[in-house]
Structure 1
Amino acid sequence: MSTELIVITGAGRAGQLGEALARHFAALGASLALVDRAGTESAARVADLPAEQKGQRFTAHAADLSDPAATEKLAAQVLAAHGTTGIHAVICAAGGFGATGPVSDADPDAWHKQFAINLDTAFATTRAFLPALRDAKGSLVYFGSASALPVGSPKGLAAYAAAKSGVLTLMRTVALDEKSHGVRANAVAPTAIRTAANLADMGDKSSYVERESVADVVAFLVSPAARNITGQVITLA
């Protein structure tokens, strides 16, 4: 990979997936725009990356990705910071997990939070960055969940699974809508990923997908080798 620009949302806390994605793409030679809500965590991730190679640039950005207007401003800031009109890929890794229990007992605020942090962020990010993706004939990668698939179990996870189902439907819609513009959209649907947060919550005895394995799949999906792949969900277990 050359110095194409990759935008990674949710690239915040250390030990999480966004960190591994950033390191992987930096090692491949890409320029990166890392995004989190406050900007402080993404700035720390930029500082942790290896020294930039010739032509590379790493930047950190802050935005409330559930706010479409704020996300539009973010897109303009990213393009200005990197001096480009085109983006090679947007990795929509922003989101979060939450168990809401049986639907009969679910807290409405917890329900709405899952949609805000998972589906609303994916929508606003997609909408804001599509012009730049069209310019570069780039691609999007979204994150679903095994719990949102027909073979998965959403028991106790109704809000999270429903929000991730929405993300997968958004992905398929974007793949169809944007095919004529040369923009591709795909998703990965992992089981639990070995992140610092999951280890703290579930311990080290659970079965995990390694962060580096997820990064490998995402890098493939935005590479020329996957130029004919769009509208697909890759499960990771």
Structure 2
Amino acid sequence: MNEPRPSLDSFDDGLADVIDLPSTGQTPTESSQRGRLQELDSLAGKIALVTGAGAPDGIGFAIATRLRLAGATVAIVSTTKRIHERAEEIDAVGFVADLTDEAEVGGLADAVTDAVGEVDILVNNAGLTSKSDPAVVKPVAQLSYEDWRSELSRNLDTAFLVSRAFVQAMAERGWGRIVNVAATAGVVNAVPAEAAYAAAKAGVTGLTKALATEVVADGVTVNAVAPGLVRTGSSTVPELQQGLDGPMGRPGTPEEVAAAAVFFCAPSASYVTGQVLVVDGGRSLRV
């Protein structure tokens, strides 16, 4: 004999429990609906760490800014002292660390916890190129093993080391968000002379999916964004020209990538994990 199906009201009550929101049992007014929507997206009381956030016009800083606007307490890290300037701009806490160094990552984890508390949200953005640290652009036949290891270290090892430093505590507390910044390179396309970068970013998506399966039952989600051509301070003229030639006629902005990344961080995104969201203005749709 079939059991009666639960009512929509009972489902709504259950959903409220899942996302830690009160259920009133009353028909909501437009005002209360709007307030509830804001609660669903609010990160008040959450502590977020964003890596690679030193550039004022970069993706990492845009993500950190949006997390702060959503109510989170934010810590940011980069390899140089300019991170303290960024931290002051958004009322965050800045740290300097080399995230390719296992010992420094361990020290960072302790320092962040002591300064702001246990991290609930981790955004692994470190690894993207900059003017001072450009990508290795060489055909595979001319690529040294040192070049190969360097690209993998800063683009893949960083995401692994920092995720490992924080994920267990998230799982033990029963709530967490990890968002990795990959790229369209290695995920949906590739360009000549950037094999190491493409391999590293493809590895980031593999790490994302594998880690998601490990903590899916612990209230921790792991997702990735894959930006295409985005206008930052490190963009080259040829890259910007490629953006102008894309379907939208322009490159993307760090803020557009940040919007996608912070979506994954929201309490309302609790049923999304192991996913890669491409942010490329439709460029990957073209053959």
Please, what TM-score do these two structures have when normalized by structure 2? Answer: 0.74
From 100, 105, 124, the equivalent of 1:92 is 124
- Alpha-carbon contact 1:147-1:154 (below 8 Å) kept: yes
User: What is the correspondence of 1:175-194 to structure 2 with a 5 Å cutoff?
Assistant: 175-194=212-231
Contact 2:229 2:239 in 1 (8 A): no
Is residue 2:255 matched to residue 1:212?
yes
Give every structure 1 segment of 4 or more consecutive aligned residues whose post-TM-superposition deviation is greater than 6 Å: none
Task: Name structure 1 gaps, 5 residues minimum.
Answer: 53-57
The corresponding residue for 2:111 is: 77
Task: After TM superposition, list the pairs within 5 Å mapping 1:72-151 onto structure 2.
Answer: 72-82=106-116, 84=117, 86-97=118-129, 98-134=135-171, 135=173, 137-149=175-187, 151=188
How far off its partner does 1:100 sit?
A: 2.8
Q: Which residue is 2:195 aligned to?
A: 158
For 1:167-178, list aligned pairs within 5 A: 167-178=204-215
Q: Is the deviation greater in 96-105 or in 17-26?
A: 96-105
Where does residue 60 of structure 1 map in the other structure?
Answer: 94
Distance 1:211 1:119 in 2: 21
Name the Cα RMSD after superposition: 1.6
**Highest CA radius of gyration, 1 or 2?**
2
Secondary structure in structure 2 of the residue aligned to 1:104: helix
Matches within 5 A, 1:193-232: 193-198=230-235, 200-202=236-238, 204-207=240-243, 208-232=251-275
| Length-normalised TM-score, structure 1 | 0.89
Count of matched residue pairs: 225
Deviation at 1:180, TM superposition (A): 2.3
Deviation at 1:201, TM superposition (A): 4.6
Unaligned runs of 5+ in 2: 1-41, 130-134, 244-250, 281-287
- Once the 2 structures are TM-superposed, how far is the Cα of residue 155 of structure 1 from its aligned partner? 2.3
